[in-house]
Structure 1
Amino acid sequence: MKRRVLIVSPYFYPEGGGLEKYAFNMALELSEKNEVTVLCMTRGEEGWEDLGGIRVYRVKPGFIVSNTPLSLRFVLKTAGMVRRADLVIAHTPVPFAADVASFLAKLRGIPIRIVYHTVGLKKGAGFLDALAGLYSATLERLTLRGVGIIAVSKTVWEYLRENGYNPRVSHPQISLPEHASRQRSCSREKVILFVGQLGRYHRFKNLYLLVRAFSELSVEFPEWKLWVVGDGDLLDEYRRLALELGLGSRVRFFGRINNPEELAEIYSRSGVLVLPSSFESFGMVVAEALAFGVPVIVSPHVGARILVEPGKNGFVLRDLSVSSLVDALKLVMDDPKLLRKLSSRSTLRGHR
């Protein structure tokens, strides 16, 4: 008889970003030998669906605070589903969903694992950071007490160890492996690629820094373009910035892309991926880009920098500044031979 596994996540693929992709890949892997059900919240339509053989229940939140969905109905739904589970896996540190799952699983005596995705909740938001600190010192400690903890990167593992926990590491798997074979058949274009959420709670991904760096190089390299994949409430702000800098059609905003074939096509045509985040527990887009033979330029604060071999498959910025990003971009934009060399060596090393 198959084990019944319940995965609890604040949101779930195709909504969200890296956390949700990780949860989806974990669910797919577990579904090969287990009966997997996912419970999450959604900004879209409430209901259930079959997603690759996984039964997914999506609950509409009552309200959302700082990107954290809250719902009494979600609590009641979790209570019913936990009762029928043999194992519960909850994804955090987005508050509420994992806290509810942990409390109810412990109450029922059901084993629970917590997958931890980032180095804390503070993002330079003043009052909200104060609340995040209070949460980490109180409710989160109760949630993580007595459970198995999985860190998604060495950076997250170190953070948790420093805070008195004993996690193990399980790096994300790439989301588009079946499409990566096209990387050798598609011709590369002079394109700088950014993939990430564009919401106000994701300013730390520093897209504005990349747009400004591209602006400084746009006259010297008129054939190059910047492609942005992602959506959020700051999309219009980034579009205005591109127009103000005179970039016009040089910056293309694709919006959110849920179709794996379409996203694979974009990776395959791009020249280099840039992720200049102020902090990033891992950065699955880096692993995805390398799987498609796309060199990467990342900040020193990106967990997936462990995949980058400077000068072989990409570069790690010396610091987070426009000048540092300009220097790194100029290396690949000014040297087609180097770019081809980086691309040919951009393969994803085993890292699980």
Structure 2
Amino acid sequence: MKRVLHISKYYYPFVGGVEQIARDCVLALNGKVEQKVLCFDHNPKSKDSIDSVDGVEVVRVGQQALVSSQALGITYGKQMKKVLRSFKPDVIIFHYPNPYVAHYLLKYINSESKLVVWWHLDIIKQKFLKHLFTGQNKRILKRADKIVATSPNYIVGSPWLSSVKKKCVVIPNCIDENRLSVTEEEKELAKQIKAENKGKILCLAVGRHVPYKGFEYLIEASKYLDDRFVIQITGKGPLTEKLHEQAKNDSKIKFLGLVSDKELKARLLSCDIYTFSSVTKNEAFGLALAEGMYFGHPAVTFTIPGSGVNYVSVNGETGIEVPNRDAKAFANALTKLADNFALRKQYGIAARIRVEDNFMFKQFKNNVEELVVEL
């Protein structure tokens, strides 16, 4: 049986976008190959340990520090070398960005192992690190046998991926349909939310309150909307206080805070339009966008060059895309959908179909299996 080593920054039970995709890769290959996971322990000041998740051995390296979102551990190189020599992987799936780990991977990988670099996003926020790791990025992409991007848009928009197009394959992220399955209790809660907002156009935005999510532009857009609208914003984050201050005189804005899965599904069921206001390539794909579309709602998005957001939702088919950071255009799109029930329905049905045809686990599983078999 072939052996596949997965290398991720952290791993389940840590909850994060990259970590979920890493686990999805493992689940996609379960029973097909022998697998192992190498990652950092997400707990600070932890020690090296080994456990099992989904029947797969997970080697967790103790983390001594976290610098610019990069985990550091003094025993990482030793553990990497040990795992590569003892497990002898036929294929390594390395989840990028992870420059500290990339250093040891380039140092210890042998010529027999095939390397898949799962390119989640470019380093763009950390300006200094972006330039510091230029040479390393060139080496890891040269060594890679295949490079996975989550959308064709990202291949075109990334200066790194566009330079190695022939090695790139597209494997879109997938939603967890089991987590999104709806109970009768959640349906009743959705009806209650609808009843409490009778006659209103319910818009929903989901995400952490961080700059790239663009919630400030959604709040600005609300100023151009009439009182039919209710803009529901979930989550918390560094910008929460600032966003509350910006919206303090706008009764249309409702901050829901951190919500349970139960309430989230009820909100997803009951909303009329899914608002996705992200504005930078930090939003590499938009999994929360796909989840909103899965519930049969049209989406309003900004144009983000090089991001997968405008691949997930197709302008004029599953929703409306407007110029980046143009709050008035965003409001006009919301108004257009509010005024036209038939259009909302048309886009909503198309949104559900697009997710079912492209962004479910079954497609993801097939894509990962084909990638590994090809290698």
Alignment partner of 1:176 is 2:176: yes
Which amino acid in structure 1 is aligned with residue 324 of structure 2? D
Q: Give the Cα–Cα distance (whole angstroms) in 2 for the partners of residues 287 and 60 of structure 1.
A: 34
Report the counterpart of residue 78 of structure 2 in structure 1. 76
Deviation at 1:114, TM superposition (A): 0.9
* Structure 2: stretches of 5+ with no match in the other structure: 195-200, 364-375
Contact 1:151 1:167 in 2 (8 A): no
Report the counterpart of residue 196 of structure 1 in structure 2. 207
Q: Give the Cα–Cα distance (whole angstroms) in 1 for the partners of residues 34 and 266 of structure 2.
A: 33
Report the counterpart of residue 293 of structure 1 in structure 2. 296
Alignment partner of 1:155 is 2:153: yes
Q: Give the Cα–Cα distance (whole angstroms) in 1 for the partners of residues 180 and 123 of structure 2.
A: 33
Q: Give the Cα–Cα distance (whole angstroms) in 2 for the partners of residues 271 and 15 of structure 1.
A: 32
Which amino acid in structure 2 is aligned with residue 224 of structure 1? V
Deviation at 1:221, TM superposition (A): 2.7
Percent identical across equivalent pairs? Answer: 21
Contact 1:157 1:167 in 2 (8 A): no
Deviating beyond 6 angstroms after TM superposition, the runs of 4 or more aligned structure 1 residues are: none
Alignment partner of 1:304 is 2:309: yes
Report the counterpart of residue 89 of structure 1 in structure 2. 93
* Structure 1: stretches of 5+ with no match in the other structure: none
After superposition, the C-alpha distances for 1:73-97 in whole angstroms (9 at most, x for unaligned) are 3333322222214222111124223
User: Which of the residues 128, 131, 140 maps onto 1:130?
Assistant: 128
Deviation at 1:41, TM superposition (A): 2.8
Structure 1 residues 164, 345: closer, same or farther in 2, change over 3 A?
closer
Aligned length: 334
RMSD (Å) for aligned C-alpha atoms: 3.2
Structure 1 residues 6, 343: closer, same or farther in 2, change over 3 A?
same
Deviation at 1:178, TM superposition (A): 3.2
Q: Give the Cα–Cα distance (whole angstroms) in 2 for the partners of residues 250 and 272 of structure 1.
A: 15
Deviation at 1:42, TM superposition (A): 4.7
Deviation at 1:35, TM superposition (A): 2.9
Report the counterpart of residue 140 of structure 2 in structure 1. 143
Output aligned runs, 1:62-73, within 5 Å. Answer: 62-73=64-75
TM-score (norm 2): 0.76
Deviation at 1:241, TM superposition (A): 3.8
Report the counterpart of residue 319 of structure 1 in structure 2. 324
Contact 1:307 1:348 in 2 (8 A): no
Deviation at 1:109, TM superposition (A): 4.3
TM-score (norm 1): 0.80
Structure 1 residues 333, 52: closer, same or farther in 2, change over 3 A?
farther
Report the counterpart of residue 347 of structure 1 in structure 2. 352
Contact 1:39 1:58 in 2 (8 A): yes
Structure 1 residues 41, 274: closer, same or farther in 2, change over 3 A?
farther
